[in-house]
Structure 1
Amino acid sequence: MLYKFFNYGCLVPVLSSLALAPRSGVIQNISKGFQYFLDNGELRLMVLFSLSIQCILILFGAKRQSWTNIYLRIILWSAYLFADWLATTSLGVLSNKSHCVEPEHAIVALWGPILLLHLGGQDTITAYSMEDNALWSRRLVTYIGQVVAAILIFLRSRTYTDLNSLAILIFIAGFIKIGERIWVLWRASSQQFKESLFPDPDPGPNYARYMETYNSASYEGYRVNVEFLIQSPSTGDDDAAAVDHYTYGPAVTVRTANRLLKISKLLFADLILSFQDVSESRSSLLSGNGKRGFEVMEIELGFMYDVFYTKAPIVYSFIGCFLRFVTLSCSIIVCVFFFIKENQYPRIDVVITGVLLLGAIVFDMYSVISMLFSDWTMMWLTMHKNKVTCKIISLIQYVKCKKRWSCSIGQFNLISFCLLRAKKERYSEPGMCGFNCGKTFKTNAAKTGLATMITGAWLSYEKYKHTNTNTVSVTDDLKEIIFEHFVNKTNVEINNTRFYYNWGNKVLEGLQLGKKIETISWSVEVEFDQSILLWHIATNLCYNSVADEEVLENGRSYRETSKWLSEYMLYLLVMRPSMLPNGIGEIRFQDTCAEATEFVRDRRSIQNENQVSQILHRVCKHVKKVLPSTVKGDRSKSVLFDACRLAENVREMRNDDEEWETKKMWKFITQVWVEMLAYAASNCQAIHHAQHLRHGGELLTHVWLLMVHLGITDKLQISKGFGRAKLIRK
């Protein structure tokens, strides 16, 4: 009882008195500085936390261009959301305290303009997604209110402090940072970005004046004849050759990418390309190989990432360099004068202010260093022909080790995914865990809203976990295979758009197997998502069923390449459906996955993918006589056994060719997948390509840009130039 008395009878009143009577004797004995810390601790923690968030943004903001890690994206997304909220909330707390700030604590008024620097954001990330650019006007209104709040805080406390001049310098830097961010967001918004690429208004030759002259001559009795002339546009190849003459070593690729950047901008703005632009890019790429071609695409897409998500459009300009010099100078001047002058303020506030000022300087210096070792700087250096720039370029190439994109592709194997699910379901069956929940109860429980949400979230996690553990690097051989396929299939005329309307037909025609083609041609005449599932399962079955070792061609393994592309296309269907043409691919996937899971679960002897392929082969031995649709109908969208039929037909297309299953079959399957990749890339909207630049990039986007540069696009307009009509009087 005595123990309870001291804990509940004495301790609680004491704590209550401390909380309800702040001027009691105990509180009065606390030092004034510590009491101030208690009163203002939340503000100190918030400004320091805001500084920490800015560190995360500047360090990891640029890494998402080449990282696919989901945890990095979560951290960066959280930091991006918290950054403005923390700065805004800190300004609100500071505003409430500014009217009663004591002279010795007026140093906190200097934190207001420093928080404006945080609101201005970092050079490495201004927008987390494309939607942030579209909301630039909302940001503008918000930032105006926050600037007004910071100014009011300064005006309220200016009579109590001698830091007015230093605060004005920080205000200047903060205004510049916020102005830069708003300008970049506005510039990268879809409408403004498109309008910035419009050519100057061009009314063409003056038709009205021409007709007035024509009518005047006719009234005077002249016989007027009209001679028509067409001014043909130049291809620009000579200019391209002249430009390349002034580049050095590895920087040639950077200069080429910059010269072709106009095409990328037009593509992302959904505008029409000109014959001259595509002709120049096509000739530049055909003079190299696949590795160089994809490197040009990497640099171009790196430039586009900077345009959409960073401050690059203003930082890498003369005015941008001047503004960065001003902001850095203001921060350094304030920091130096702050530390050399005698401060009569609480030590903890002095330390926090010093950390904030040093943080502003470090951020600006980090931005300047990043700018010096970027492709933008290298591109600028290549425009100046001298030995100094040549050595600087070599130094940048030596120091720079940053990847321009993840250079990897996601993989999703349907058979292995269903195998894992089937094994988990076996352990969750009634009796396996010692209890039986009852089928009716589980069915009703699964229909509740919460259960549906949890089930959906768990399925998404399983998909991500299966994908995250299965990624492969984009090898030089894969780049060469894709590049050579487009070069070989591209006709002499530029406007080759067959990839936009079909896939695989040309590959089937190239086999020259007569009526045997009909046994598999149906697989490329269905909807695109259905074709992906059919060929994915068929490729997997062939991969696991063919025991012979593959014969390499030119040192390339088409067997592995076909598997990589197969699993990458299914990865896009499952994890990136927005990048594929509209359809019911996700429904087909879930039905096919359900049937495959049931097939494996009912056969407990199956333990790996090879056994799945062997048993499917035995079950589908007579699939040609009894089609799956005859037994199953069309309610289920599963294509599992249709894919088994396709696999059997592909393997039997050997036509007495001993090298079919070891060499030619795999090259044929790879070509089918490259055509599917081309079709998907061509029909993906530009906004989705732009969105995934921030997730490490996609091979699909690089293929899309490569195809356009080679002239494989339906957005090409062949201009005939101005018409010239000459009047001849007789």
Structure 2
Amino acid sequence: MRVLRDRQDYISAVQSYPPTDQPSLDWSSLGKLWDEWQIQCLMLVSFGLQVFLFFTAGMRRRSESRILRLLLWLAYLSADFVAIFALGHLALHANGPQHQLLFFWAPFVLLHLGGQDTMTAFSMQDNELWMRHLLGLVTQVTAAGYVISRTSWPDRRLLAAMVLMFLSGCFKYAERTLCLYKASPTSIRESSFASLNECAHSIAVGRDQWAYFWPHRLQEMLNADGRRPSSQMFDVDSSTAISLVSDTPVNDGSTMQAEHQDIQSLNKELKSSKDRCRVYDYVSPRLALIYERLYTKALLRYSIVHGVRRTRYDGDILLGVCFCCFVLCIPCYMPLLVYGLLLLFPLLSTMTALMLFKYVEKSQLYSRADVTVSYVLLIGAMILEAASLFICILSYSPYRDILYQSARKQWSEMLGQYNMTKSLTRQSILSFVPQRAAKHLDDNTSSITISEDLKKFVLDKLLDFGTRKEDWNFANFHGKLALGKWMDRHKHLVCGRLNSSINDLDLPTSVLIMHIATEILYFQDSESINSHKQTVKKMSRELSNYIMYLVFKCGVMLTARTEILHDKAQREMKRDLKGDNNICEKEAIMEVFESHHTNYYLRTPREQAADIQLLMDTWTSLHSPILPRACDVAQELIDIHREVDCWDLVSAVWVEMLYYIAPRCGGTFHSQHLSTGGEFITHVLHLMQLLGPFIPPPSA
């Protein structure tokens, strides 16, 4: 019996373990704690997201970092989600006498939904959905009004502070919706058409009004240092610049109205100047202003500032905004007062609300934590509004150099690169991932810093075209002019295969063939050459990789047929390499070359013409041999290179392709990449607008 009793005691002891006097995890109490403080946490998280967006949103214009882009995307989406979620909780769960102050936070949700001046949209798709934001404005303002109406607000000072913050929140939310509408593709097209009509009217009136701007532009280009242009001078170029992000880029009005000899003279003077590369510093700040128009509240701020300039006060904008504070009772300054209030209202309302809240009786009525959160929201909103106003005023005043220093780059200054050979030989950490998933995680692209040599080379070729009126249609060809001029100087050389690959095929197919041929020539040419030729050789490959990146990774002018040809060529190269990823690029491309150029001298002209016809035909081109054709072109270049250095020809063909692609990328491409670090081809397109009437008509 004793044994049985001991066993029962042991079982009871095991069942009662652990001892009852030790604390246990009470999930129900944690749930109650979260239910009590979740609104406070949501409001602080919402405010923190606004602070993060304010300080980091402008960085994406100068960086191509995917990590930064991901963080901004998460913050942008979370900011709206958290704010709306918090407003819903305020409407449903803000109860209790100690938590009546929570209703005061509803206007701050509207303030957060209005976003920061530094970021209204993450992408152009957000601008297209401006009507959704308009619907959100109506519904969220209604919800916030419902939350506010649930309490009696016995202290009139708190009621006044709440009304001011409610009006400020509605104002900020309406600002954001208006900016989204003005940056939508429909609105941009309307602005572009309006600018075209104005340009046509000015051409009909005469050229006298442009007499000042055309010669002055030369000095501005040569003296550019990357700083933001004055708003008066940007007004002249703004309609032209905005057409960059529309589907119909147009030439600058001054170039269309200028005399031909003036354009030629400008290009000659630029070409002879050692500081000619400063034109890139002239272009990049203007593209930065386009980014601000599309993705920030800069357009609305500029409209208000421009309104101040048009009033009777003609002084500095900084002094003008300050001056409007002292003329509240003078009727003749009412326009200035209206524009000043539009600019100052969010800050003034927040400051007034903070002062009113300070004198509200709080100690006995409201929770100390709620009071602290309210102060954080009020002071934080005031600081953000003051910082936004300070940046806005300085941006359009003579003191803007404080913000925009010449040493600060306006875009990433990186050049995207896609190399077929490198993509086959690189060792990817995603090799264990299924191929379809790995294609989205690793697109086999890289980036290099754009060199001054490449900038100078692209600009010099553009200026060369600008000095001869007969070459102003160079954007209609993707290598034909360069090849024709080179053949005129070397008539004893035969370039039949190269000529047919450039002139008889569409651009994506020509790019694919020329890229493979350039790779073969690059590694085949191992002779010691001078530094200039080495630079041209390096630039040719960089341009080749960049245009491959534009066409086959960004989808510029890419057709389904050429995409199939690219994938087919890639599979054939993998087959030639027998799946060996451990060899270097030179060995890989030379092995491909050896596999496909053996019959180079055996094909008759009729067979060669048949190959070209295969590539040109829509259906049979899906089965046409890209690699043999590319190897034929490479062999022809190698034969030419044995007699005359041909890197000048190759580089000229690639840069002409760049000029051909620039006006045909589409407005969506240019506008989208302004928010991801920028693209070099966008700068080239703007140069083509400013240096002459080089943009072809849409029909071309």
Q: Aligning the two structures, in what range does the TM-score lie when normalised by the shorter sequence?
A: 0.7 to 0.9
Whether the aligned pair in 1 keeps the contact of 2:220 and 2:282 (CA below 8 Å) is: no
The one-letter code sitting in structure 2 at the alignment partner of 1:570 is M
State yes or no: 1:528 paired with 2:507: yes
Q: Deviations over 1:574-604 (max 9, x none)?
A: 3211x33545333222222211122112668
1:364 matched to which residue of 2? 385
Superposed, 1:262-301 pairs within 5 Å as: 262-269=239-246, 270=248, 273=251, 276-279=254-257, 287-288=269-270, 290-301=276-287
1:707 matched to which residue of 2? 688
Change (3 A) 1:421 1:635: farther
| SS of residue paired to 1:557 | helix
Whether the aligned pair in 1 keeps the contact of 2:108 and 2:165 (CA below 8 Å) is: yes
1:111 matched to which residue of 2? 105
1:95 matched to which residue of 2? 91
The one-letter code sitting in structure 2 at the alignment partner of 1:329 is L
Whether the aligned pair in 1 keeps the contact of 2:160 and 2:356 (CA below 8 Å) is: no
Give how far 1:279 is off.
4.8
- Mapped to 2, the partners of 1:182 and 1:409 lie a distance apart of 34
The structure 1 residue matched to 2:73, chosen from 57, 60, 77, is 77
The one-letter code sitting in structure 2 at the alignment partner of 1:238 is Y
Which shifted more, 684-693 or 86-95?
Answer: 684-693
Whether the aligned pair in 1 keeps the contact of 2:251 and 2:693 (CA below 8 Å) is: no
Unmatched tracts of structure 1, length 5 or more: 20-26, 28-33, 206-229, 382-391, 429-450, 718-730
- Mapped to 2, the partners of 1:423 and 1:180 lie a distance apart of 46
Give how far 1:2 is off.
4.7
- Mapped to 1, the partners of 2:408 and 2:374 lie a distance apart of 34
Change (3 A) 1:482 1:290: farther
1:568 matched to which residue of 2? 546
- Mapped to 2, the partners of 1:688 and 1:520 lie a distance apart of 30
Which shifted more, 637-646 or 56-65?
Answer: 637-646
Which shifted more, 513-522 or 246-255?
Answer: 246-255
State yes or no: 1:510 paired with 2:468: no
1:302 matched to which residue of 2? 288
- Mapped to 2, the partners of 1:243 and 1:480 lie a distance apart of 19
Give how far 1:262 is off.
2.4
Give how far 1:36 is off.
8.1
The one-letter code sitting in structure 1 at the alignment partner of 2:563 is E
State yes or no: 1:418 paired with 2:448: no
2:210 matched to which residue of 1? 236
Change (3 A) 1:714 1:603: closer
The one-letter code sitting in structure 1 at the alignment partner of 2:696 is D
Superposed, 1:212-611 pairs within 5 Å as: 232-234=206-208, 236-241=210-215, 250=225, 254-255=229-230, 259-269=236-246, 270=248, 273=251, 276-279=254-257, 287-288=269-270, 290-316=276-302, 317-318=304-305, 322-339=341-358, 341-344=360-363, 345-371=366-392, 374=395, 377=396, 380-381=397-398, 392=399, 395-396=402-403, 398=405, 401-420=407-426, 454-463=434-443, 466-467=444-445, 470-490=446-466, 492-493=468-469, 496-500=472-476, 502-512=477-487, 513-514=490-491, 516-524=494-502, 525-553=504-532, 557-577=535-555, 579-601=556-578, 607-611=583-587
The structure 1 residue matched to 2:598, chosen from 602, 605, 622, is 622
Q: Deviations over 1:181-226 (max 9, x none)?
A: 1111121122223334526999x99xxxxxxxxxxxxxxxxxxxxx
Give how far 1:371 is off.
3.1
- Mapped to 2, the partners of 1:61 and 1:424 lie a distance apart of 30
Q: Deviations over 1:425-469 (max 9, x none)?
A: 8xx9xxxxxxxxxxxxxxxxxxxxxx9xx5312122232xx32xx
2:313 matched to which residue of 1? none
Give how far 1:568 is off.
1.0
Give how far 1:705 is off.
1.8
Whether the aligned pair in 2 keeps the contact of 1:107 and 1:161 (CA below 8 Å) is: no
Whether the aligned pair in 2 keeps the contact of 1:251 and 1:393 (CA below 8 Å) is: no
Change (3 A) 1:517 1:244: closer
Change (3 A) 1:279 1:60: farther
Give how far 1:492 is off.
4.2
The one-letter code sitting in structure 2 at the alignment partner of 1:326 is F
**TM-score (norm. length: structure 1):** 0.76
Q: Deviations over 1:321-347 (max 9, x none)?
A: 643422112222323443455422212
| SS of residue paired to 1:156 | coil
Whether the aligned pair in 2 keeps the contact of 1:80 and 1:128 (CA below 8 Å) is: yes
Which shifted more, 281-290 or 625-634?
Answer: 625-634
- Mapped to 1, the partners of 2:178 and 2:109 lie a distance apart of 19
| SS of residue paired to 2:448 | strand
Give how far 1:653 is off.
1.1
- Mapped to 2, the partners of 1:557 and 1:638 lie a distance apart of 32
Give how far 1:567 is off.
1.0
Unmatched tracts of structure 2, length 5 or more: 1-10, 308-338, 615-619
Whether the aligned pair in 2 keeps the contact of 1:65 and 1:695 (CA below 8 Å) is: yes
Seq. identity, %: 23
- Mapped to 2, the partners of 1:509 and 1:246 lie a distance apart of 35
Q: Deviations over 1:261-304 (max 9, x none)?
A: 22112343437557545456957676545422222221221111
Number of residue-to-residue matches in the alignment: 619
- Mapped to 2, the partners of 1:495 and 1:364 lie a distance apart of 52
The one-letter code sitting in structure 1 at the alignment partner of 2:57 is G
Change (3 A) 1:165 1:231: closer
1:221 matched to which residue of 2? none
Whether the aligned pair in 2 keeps the contact of 1:48 and 1:352 (CA below 8 Å) is: yes
Change (3 A) 1:673 1:271: closer
Whether the aligned pair in 2 keeps the contact of 1:108 and 1:349 (CA below 8 Å) is: yes
Give how far 1:243 is off.
8.6
Whether the aligned pair in 1 keeps the contact of 2:565 and 2:622 (CA below 8 Å) is: no
Whether the aligned pair in 2 keeps the contact of 1:265 and 1:304 (CA below 8 Å) is: yes
Whether the aligned pair in 2 keeps the contact of 1:494 and 1:712 (CA below 8 Å) is: no
The structure 2 residue matched to 1:123, chosen from 94, 109, 117, is 117
- Mapped to 2, the partners of 1:422 and 1:37 lie a distance apart of 47
- Mapped to 2, the partners of 1:675 and 1:250 lie a distance apart of 28
Whether the aligned pair in 1 keeps the contact of 2:115 and 2:172 (CA below 8 Å) is: yes
| SS of residue paired to 1:123 | coil
Give how far 1:687 is off.
2.3
Whether the aligned pair in 1 keeps the contact of 2:515 and 2:545 (CA below 8 Å) is: yes
Whether the aligned pair in 1 keeps the contact of 2:195 and 2:239 (CA below 8 Å) is: no
- Mapped to 1, the partners of 2:217 and 2:282 lie a distance apart of 16
Give how far 1:623 is off.
3.2
- Mapped to 2, the partners of 1:66 and 1:245 lie a distance apart of 26
Give how far 1:488 is off.
1.0
Aligned CA RMSD, in angstroms, stands at 3.8
Change (3 A) 1:700 1:582: farther
